[in-house]
Structures are given as structure tokens and as C-alpha cells.
Structure 1
Amino acid sequence: MSANGGTKAIVAALFANVGIAITKFIAFLLTNSSSMLAESIHSVADSGNQALLLLGGRRAKRAATPEHPFGYGRERYIYAFIVSIVLFSVGGLFALYEAWHKAADPHGITSWHWVPVVVLVSAIGMEGFSFHTAIKESNHVRGNQSWVHFIRRSKAPELPVVLLEDFGALVGLVFALFGVGMTLITGNGMWDAAGTAMIGVLLVVIAIVLAIETKSLLLGEGAEPKDVAAIERAVTAGPEVERIIHMKTLYLGPEELMVAAKVAVPACESAEELARGINAVETRIRAAVPVARVIYLEPDIWSAAAARAGTGTAAHTAVPGTGPAAVPGTAEPRADESRAGS
């Protein structure tokens, strides 16, 4: 995913939410509407969330250190997870509390009746611009994926977070407009409380979805099936490798994939010949899947007899279509195995 595209969407959302938060809060001060207060806090929370995403993106660019040899790419996931917590607590729970408080004293809107409607309609326009920017930037990397699949499987958290936040903001504005409009029509403040409660429930649901998806990224996700297949084809495309014994992938950050594999190689006359073969395989992997930047390949000798007997390193095969299945309890790799990698 393009980091520049994600940053552009975040900045657009940040400017929109700061402006919206100010106008909503002024409207709350004039009308004392709980829906306007809930929406004001919602926009403040969203503005803080966009600042957190920008901070996470900046910190993730730090160079690797001996303490963190694989770099700081996952810091973007941490800040995205913090965003879900802020949205849940500051946005959702506050709106639910304000709805309960308003229901206890359901006064109507007695002055400046036109202000909340104008503010909400203007906010819908500004949020629509932000949402359009997020959709446009997402379409550059979404491809043929559905929106649900894109949000659930994207390895870069920024665009999915902004998409969900902007979608939630637009729906929340409609809820607020409904609550304020019905309050103005009927003079009953319970409609205002109802609109506020709907905003709170919406934000809690979106925060939970964000937390679940970001948690999966924090735990560590492997490559998509199509990328795994491309890596497998790249490994076995030349004469350097006979088959893959087993392979694992792991995203170290949104744009950095680690590939670790044990591969069966033909007999070589020298270590130099083996190293050249391993380097050629690594070059093919990087050409097939450019985000595969950290690659470790362990050469081994395939033994069909060992595989049938369930002994020796050949029995560790676990990649579909590349050899027999792994056998539990097989021996660990031999101490005299050659190793090569980058």
C-alpha cells in the first residue's frame, strides 16, 4: 500500500475534522444539544486519531537497531490499535453517557434553532470530501478486492482506519441530524438523546471492528495466498531448487515481508555454487513479490526414503503442492546442514 496515499487521506481527514469539531462545539454552546456535544467530541477524537496515525507512520520509518533488528514497521499497527481505543472510549462511551444524561433531563432546543441544522449539513459536506479522498486513495491499491476484504486484509492500517472513521462520521452526522430535527419538530428532547445514543453505539461498533483487525496485524500475519503462490513459483522456477520442504512468511511491517524457507537443492560441487544458487532464488522472490525484503533460505538435501520413513529433515515438508505433509515428532535439522541467506 502506498504510504503517500495513506498520508494524503489522513491529512485530508485531519483538516476536515478540526474544522468540523470547532463548528459543532460552537453549535453546542448556542443550543445545548447533546447530539451536537457528542458529535463535537467525536470530531475531536477523530482529529486526535489522525494525529496518532501520522505519528505512527513517522516513527515506523526509524532505522533498525541492535535491540530491534527488524526495524519499527509494526509501530504503525500499535498506533492504529490506540486509535481504536480512543474511538471506543472518548467517542463511543462518552456519547452513550451523554445520551443517558440527556434522557434524564430531556429539554428541547430553545434558541438558535437553525444553527445545528446548518452546522450538521455543512459537516456532512466536509466529511464527504474527506471520505471521497480516502476512497480515491484506497482505489489505487484495492484492486479487485471488495471493500470488506480490503479493510479486513490490508496490511497497512491507515487507509482502512480513515475509511471506517469517515464512514462512521457520515452516518453519525445523519443520526445527529435526525435527533436534532425531530427535537426541533416535536420540542421533545428525548429525540436528541436517541440520536446521541445511536452515535455512541455506532462508534463502539466501529472501534471494536478496528481493534479486532489491528490485533490480528499486531499478532503477525503472513502473506496473502496469491503472494505465497508467487513466492513458491519463484523459488522452484530455476534449477537451483528441487522443491520447497517448508516455508513461512511474516509481515514485519505494512511494506516489509519476511520469507523463511527450507529448500531441497541438488548436489553442488562447492559452497560458492550453492551460494550463487541461493542468491538467484532470492532475486526471483524479490522480483515476484517486491515487499519480500527479508529472505532466509536454508538449503537441504531431499531424501524420499527419509520422507517415507518419517525421519530426517525431509519429513518437515508443509507447503501444499511441494511435497509430503509434515510428520509430527520428526528430527530437528542436522548440525552439519549448510545454511545460506541474506
Structure 2
Amino acid sequence: MKEFFGLLKKGSRSALWASIINAVLAVIKGITFFITGNVAMFAELMHSIGDSANQLFVFIGSALSKKAPTDRFPGGFARLVNLVLLGAVLIVGILAYETIVKGIHHIMEPPGSGSWFWLNISVLGIAVVLESFVLFKAMKEITGDLGKDIKGFSIVTESFKNVGDAKPATKLVFLEDLVATVGALIAMIAIVIGTYTPFIQAEGYASVIIGLMLFYVVGRIFLDNAAGILGVSDEDMEKKIGDLVFEEPDIKDIRTLMVIREGDELHVELKVELDPNKTVGEADKIRDNIEKKILNEKGVTEVIIESDVDDHVQSWNNPKTSK
């Protein structure tokens, strides 16, 4: 139990914050829905329940994935976070389906104009503020992983540019809270339209739109984490490490280079070609220098390097010779 709580300290903080805030929002939205019966509020209630449960699982999964390898699992637990996220998206998928069904029912059989306008608007306004807070924390986590001092509005623009390279847990929080913030705004607009115009089906359409956005998150997260479980290669990091290896003047060629992403971790397997006149001791020193450089890269936890003599057949594009 002590080890478990120790691992929880290493979990994704953005996921923990998101889970707590969405749980609070789910309670507030649930009370509001039972008072008002507003279908747009129901969609937002389903969204907050799904997000809270999801992000709690993500927090626990991201923490447990940091567990050290054991005799039974010598490969470690890095891919556990991908497995947890695959389970988490099932919850979102079910709630997205319920949200769409409720919205279609509202469109087909719209009730009379509802009351409690200001209560609905106030609750959704609070939701926008709190979801935006969590979204911004996820943005800061994404930009923080870039290793640059990014401040101000650049945090927003850079997070959108680099969300594809974010950690699995952070990416899920980012996508879910982006959809949640936009969804709350759509629900507010729909309530205004349904209250002050004859278009009373607006709230039903809003519910359907929110449900479809949730399905987008399901698809995106499912594909990313299915690839993560299989062990997806990181092509951008392969190119970066390839250029890094060729900074060593004694490297003649790279025969093979693989960078496999497992959860938040990167595993590097590399085979380089050296001058045949190099001694064993010199070759070991070259490999040690390369290993230190690669381990300094963000997310790299394991490096396996083999070496062989130069076969004079270029296998990898050498940036020094291509200039």
C-alpha cells in the first residue's frame, strides 16, 4: 500500500485536477438538470460524469505505469497507461451515445419552453470557467514538456501545435476539456436560442453536437493508445537522435535505429558503424558518449547500442555529408 501511494505522487497532475473539477461540476449539473429538466444540461451532465471517471482512471494509470520492472514483468509497466485509456474511452463512448439519443428525442418531441433560464446559464458559465482552468493546466503541461520557457498566449498556440507529441494522459485531458469548454458554450447558446426564439429544438441539436464531439475524442484516443499498446515508433525522435549520433565524428553510418514509445517512455535501439581501425576500448568510449547524449533527451529511459565495422554502404542519411 505504501508503494501504491508513492506511485500516485507520480501520476498526471492535470488528470487529477480534471477529475476533481469535473466531479464537482457533475454534482452541480446533476442538481440543475433534476430541477430544470433541460436536455442541454443533461448532455453536459453526461459529459462531466464521463470526464471525471475517465480522468480518475487516467491519473491512476499514469501513476502505476511508473512502477519499476519486476521479475514477472521485466519490460516494466509503461504501456499500462495506454491500456487504462482504452478502457476509459469506453465510458465516454457510452455517455456520448446516451447524449445523442436524448438530443434526438428532444428534437423529435420538443417540450414546451422551459424556465430556470438564469440557473442554467449560470451553471454553464461556471462550467466554462472551471473547464478552461483545467484546459490551461493541460496546455502548460504540454508546453512544459517542450523544454522551452513559453509564457503568455504562446502557451495556447504552442499547445495546439504540439498536442500530437503530448503524453497520452495529458493529451486525453486536453482533448476532453477542450470539448467540454466548447460544449458548455454551445449549450449556453442553445438555451438562449430555445428560450428567446421559436426554435425550441435548439437544445436537442446542441446535445447531439456535444455527443458527436465526444465520439471524436473516443476515436482519437482509441487510435493513439491502440498504437501505444502495440509499440508505435516515434519518427520525429528517430530523426533527431539520428542527427545527434552523427555529431560524433567517429560514426560512419547508422545501420538501424528504432525509437519505440511505451506510455510516457521512449526506448532506443541503435546499431552504428565505426572505423575498423578503432580498438575495443575506443569503441566502448564512443558508445558511452552517444548513450549519455541520447539519455538526456526528454522521455528517453533506455538505450541499447551495438556497433560494427563500416561496410561502406550508407544506410542512413548523414546530415554532415548531405549538406
Q: Which residue of 2 aligns with 1:100?
A: 104
Q: How does 1:299-338 map to 2 (within 5 A)?
A: 299-304=307-312, 307=313, 318-321=315-318
Q: Which residue of 1 aligns with 2:126?
A: 122
Q: Deviations over 1:262-307 (max 9, x none)?
A: 22233468655544443343234324x2533322222222233xx4
Q: How does 1:1-342 map to 2 (within 5 A)?
A: 7-90=12-95, 92-142=96-146, 146-154=158-166, 156-186=167-197, 189-225=200-236, 227-238=237-248, 241-254=251-264, 256-267=265-276, 271=280, 274-287=283-296, 289=297, 291-304=299-312, 307=313, 318-321=315-318
What displacement does 1:25 show?
A: 1.0
What displacement does 1:157 show?
A: 1.3
Unaligned runs of 5+ in 2: 1-7, 149-153
What displacement does 1:148 show?
A: 4.2
SS of the residue corresponding to residue 71 of structure 1 reads coil
Mapped to 1, the partners of 2:231 and 2:268 lie a distance apart of 13
Q: Which residue of 2 aligns with 1:327?
A: none
What displacement does 1:116 show?
A: 1.4
Mapped to 1, the partners of 2:18 and 2:87 lie a distance apart of 17
Mapped to 1, the partners of 2:286 and 2:139 lie a distance apart of 44
Change (3 A) 1:299 1:128: closer
Letter in 2 for 1:157: P
Aligned length: 306
SS of the residue corresponding to residue 290 of structure 2 reads helix
Q: Is the 8 A contact 2:11 2:63 kept in 1?
A: no
The structure with the larger Rg is: 1
What displacement does 1:152 show?
A: 1.8
Comparing 118-127 with 184-193, greater Cα deviation is found at 184-193
SS of the residue corresponding to residue 242 of structure 1 reads strand
SS of the residue corresponding to residue 130 of structure 2 reads helix
Q: Is the 8 A contact 1:88 1:208 kept in 2?
A: no
Q: Is the 8 A contact 1:247 1:319 kept in 2?
A: no
Letter in 2 for 1:257: L
Query: TM-score normalised to the size of structure 2?
Result: 0.82
SS of the residue corresponding to residue 271 of structure 2 reads strand
SS of the residue corresponding to residue 61 of structure 1 reads coil
Change (3 A) 1:235 1:191: closer
What displacement does 1:236 show?
A: 4.1
Change (3 A) 1:118 1:187: farther
Unaligned runs of 5+ in 1: 308-316, 324-342
Change (3 A) 1:292 1:163: closer
Change (3 A) 1:301 1:187: same
Mapped to 2, the partners of 1:237 and 1:34 lie a distance apart of 61
Query: TM-score normalised to the size of structure 1?
Result: 0.78
Moved over 6 A (4+): 3-6
Comparing 186-195 with 3-12, greater Cα deviation is found at 3-12
What displacement does 1:253 show?
A: 3.2
What displacement does 1:210 show?
A: 2.5
Letter in 1 for 2:74: P
Q: Is the 8 A contact 2:256 2:271 kept in 1?
A: yes
